[in-house]
Structure formats: structure tokens, C-alpha cells
Amino acid sequence: MNTRTFHKQYISSLEASRLVADDIVPFWQQLNIDLSIIGQMELCLVEIVNNVFEHAYGNTEGPLFDISSHLNDKQQLTIEISDYGNAMPKHILEDLPTADFVEPVADDPTTWLQSSRGLKIVQELTDTIEYTSTDKRNTFKLLKEAG
């Protein structure tokens, strides 16, 4: 058994991210990954799992998604989240690097909003974020230097 690789399938729901976190955080801890990096990657994973539920599956409970993660010899942590629902429009990921978090101003409610806040968090906390989409499978691939 390769203890450096994690793979499990889940049922999409509003609370699926909790089940995923309960499984994968101990796996990362077993790999002796720094606790601050585990916390950041837990947040990224939760954001993507919620994104799958809300957007790929339109808030429908029941469809399946897959999570895999592994740490290579160079201490690079990879996380993949695959769904079988609606693909995300390509421009959303392309626009993220130029869409900085807006500093909110009390008197200006337009500054309180942040489009794609969850994905922006993921982009900020990971080293690489990729998204591929085939006819039936959409995959987010996150990479983080864990050494």
C-alpha cells in the first residue's frame, strides 16, 4: 500500500467538505506536512468541494466526486478534485490572477463584494491551480510546495 497517496469518492452535498476534511487532514498529518500548510490546503479543498456542489452540480445532493492527493519525493503536495457535472467557464480561472481582493470601505457597499472569493482564496494559497475539462469529467489540480 502506498501511504503517500490518498483517493476516495464522495457524495456531493452541503456538508461533503466536512467529510473530506475529516479523512484527508489525518492523511496529511501522517505525511508530516507542516500544520500551517495543512490548514491552508484544508481551506482550499473545502472551497473547491463547495464549488463542485454549488456550480458543477447546481446544489443537488447525490452526484459523486473524487478526491486524490499525494506527496512526491520533492515534497510537492498535489490535490485533485474531479466532478462529472457542469464545467466551469474557462475565463473564471483566467481572470483570477488579475482580480485582487478589494479592500472594503465602510461607506461603499460595492467594495464589500468579491466575485469568486472562494476560488481567489485557493489561487492565493496554492502554488499552482489548474482546471481541465473533458466531455464528462472536470478536474481541479492544486499544487503546493510542502517542504
Partner 1 sequence: MQFEIIEKGQYTVIQVNEARFDAKLAPSFREELESIKGNIRDHLVLDLGGVRFMDSSGLGAVMGAYKMLRNTKISIVNPQKPIVDLLKLTRMDKLILSHPTIEAAVAATA
What is the smallest separation between the CB atom of 5 and partner 1, expressed in angstroms? 25
- The contact set with partner 1 (CB under 8 A) reads 14-15, 17-18, 21, 39, 42-43, 46-47, 50, 53, 101-106, 109, 112, 114, 117-118, 120-121, 124-125
Measured from the CB atom, the residue of 53 and 65 that comes closer to partner 1 is 53
Name which of 21 and 92 has its Cβ closer to partner 1: 21
Looking at the Cβ atoms of 32 and 115, the one nearer to partner 1 is: 115
From the CB of 37, what's the least distance to partner 1, in Å? 12
Q: Is residue 82 a contact partner of residue 66, using CB atoms and an 8 Å limit?
A: yes
Q: State in angstroms the smallest separation of the CB of 100 from partner 1.
A: 9
Q: State which residue, 40 or 139, has the beta carbon closest to partner 1.
A: 40
- Nearer of residues 1 and 106 to partner 1, judged by Cβ: 106
Q: Give the whole-angstrom CA distance, residue 129 versus residue 69.
A: 14
Distance CA 69, CA 7 (A): 7
Give min distance, CB of 15 to partner 1, in A: 5
d(CA 21, CA 43): 9
- In whole angstroms, give the CA distance from residue 123 to residue 117: 10
Partners of 80 in the β-ladder: 68, 141
State in angstroms the smallest separation of the CB of 83 from partner 1: 16
Our separate counts of H helices and E strands in the chain read: 4, 5
How far apart (Å, rounded) are the C-alpha atoms in residues 106 and 49? Answer: 31
